[in-house]
Amino acid sequence: MKILVTGGLGFIGSHTVVELQNEGYEVIIVDNLSNTSLSVLDGIQNITGKVPAFEKLDLREKEKVQEFFKRHHDISGVIHFAASKAVGESVENPLLYYENNINALVYVLQELQQKQEANFIFSSSCTVYGQAETMPITENASIQTAMSPYGNTKQIGEEIITDTAKVTNINAILLRYFNPIGAHPSTEIGELPIGVPQNLVPFITQTGFGLRKELAVYGDDYPTPDGTAVRDYIHVVDLAKAHVIALQRLLNKKNTAKVETFNLGTGTGSSVLEVIHSFEKVSGKKLPYKIVGRREGDITSAYANTDKANDVLGWKAQSTLEEAMASAWKWEQKIRS
């Protein structure tokens, strides 16, 4: 069965391609290479022994999207990762985010709605919950006004898919990720942040390696046990496996609604200081850091209630924070060697 993975050379996309190939799916990747490199294809091949088909394609180019689907009329499912994901950049350049994350989504759905049947998995984010009132966060928690254009594109994306699925043959699963971290245990693929990382874990591993002087911890006056903000850090391989299970649910027609939504996290919240200590334990290095003021737009706490994913998908994250940090550290050392 042929599965299209958009953004398949990115961080989560590439790990998902590996899991799809391991399950015997034929994968075709499209990616515009805006935030990744072609060498990721070699990494995937080194792990699975199979080269996925790849086409460089920018999904904002509507005619090219139409032409792509004409050539590939036998696609059984689409996992749509292709999107921009930097919160700060989205505030600076909102139209880039609306064009990249919304136009591209619309063009892909326009092609899928012409099919007899289409299965669609969407990369969404726990950012749609904003600061939820109760922890852990269930899928029924209310959606809050987005704090950035990036977050807004995820909310609007979910709405576009829901409206479209109601009146077409498209079945969809919306996957709301918490904080994906880590790398494949083979160290063949991992995260490749361009420039100064905005996310915590790549900043930590780069600092541990000596590329950055020190980590700035954004705030220690949050109402949390140690004062630093709490998140649900999930190993990217666990996250990737959930995509395959969600896709199989659609392919096997096990879904009970046209659109289903699942939180993907571990169910455990970790503070910034706990992440630092975990890094120190697995690396044997002391991490230089200083406490600074809060980062604008940051929330206090977000971790997932994973009951729905556990019960309905039969999926549960397996890796601990330490295992994920160890894989992130191994990856950092490999790409700098």
| Residue 34: both structure tokens together | 């805006």
Q: Quick check: is 129 catalytic?
A: no
Least distance from C-beta 37 to ligand UD1, angstroms?
20
Nearer to ligand UD1, 21 or 125 (CB): 125
Nearer to ligand UD1, 184 or 231 (CB): 231
Least distance from C-beta 43 to ligand UD1, angstroms?
22
The total number of residues shown for the chain amounts to 337
Contacts to ligand UD1 by CB under 6 A: 85-87, 125-127, 179, 198-200, 203, 215-218, 229, 231, 272, 295, 298-299, 302
Least distance from C-beta 314 to ligand UD1, angstroms?
25
Are 7 and 54 spatial neighbours (Cβ–Cβ below 8 Å)? no
As a three-state string, the secondary structure of the chain is CEEEEECCCCHHHHHHHHHHHHCCCEEEEEECCCCCCCHHHHHHHHHHCCCCEEEECCCCCHHHHHHHHHHCCCEEEEEECCCCCCHHHHHHCHHHHHHHHHHHHHHHHHHHCCCCCEEEEEEEEHHHHCCCCCCCECCCCCCCCCCCHHHHHHHHHHHHHHHHHHHCCEEEEEEEECEEECCCCCCCCCCCCCCCCCCHHHHHHHHHHCCCCCEEEECCCCCCCCCCCEECEEEHHHHHHHHHHHHHHHHCCCCCCCEEEEEECCCCCEEHHHHHHHHHHHHCCCCCEEEECCCCCCCCEECECCHHHHHHHCCCCCCCHHHHHHHHHHHHHHHHC
Least distance from C-beta 42 to ligand UD1, angstroms?
27
Least distance from C-beta 231 to ligand UD1, angstroms?
5
Nearer to ligand UD1, 77 or 136 (CB): 136
Separation in Å, CA 229 to CA 134, 151, 226: 15, 19, 9
Catalytic residue among 97, 107, 129, 150: 150
| Beta bridge partners of residue 137, listed in sequence order | 304
Query: Closest residue to ligand UD1, Cβ-based?
Result: 229
Nearer to ligand UD1, 40 or 272 (CB): 272
Least distance from C-beta 82 to ligand UD1, angstroms?
15
Are 236 and 12 spatial neighbours (Cβ–Cβ below 8 Å)? yes
Distance CA 17, CA 27 (A): 7
Nearer to ligand UD1, 3 or 181 (CB): 181
Nearer to ligand UD1, 48 or 228 (CB): 228
Least distance from C-beta 310 to ligand UD1, angstroms?
21
Nearer to ligand UD1, 295 or 316 (CB): 295
Q: Which residues are catalytic?
A: 150
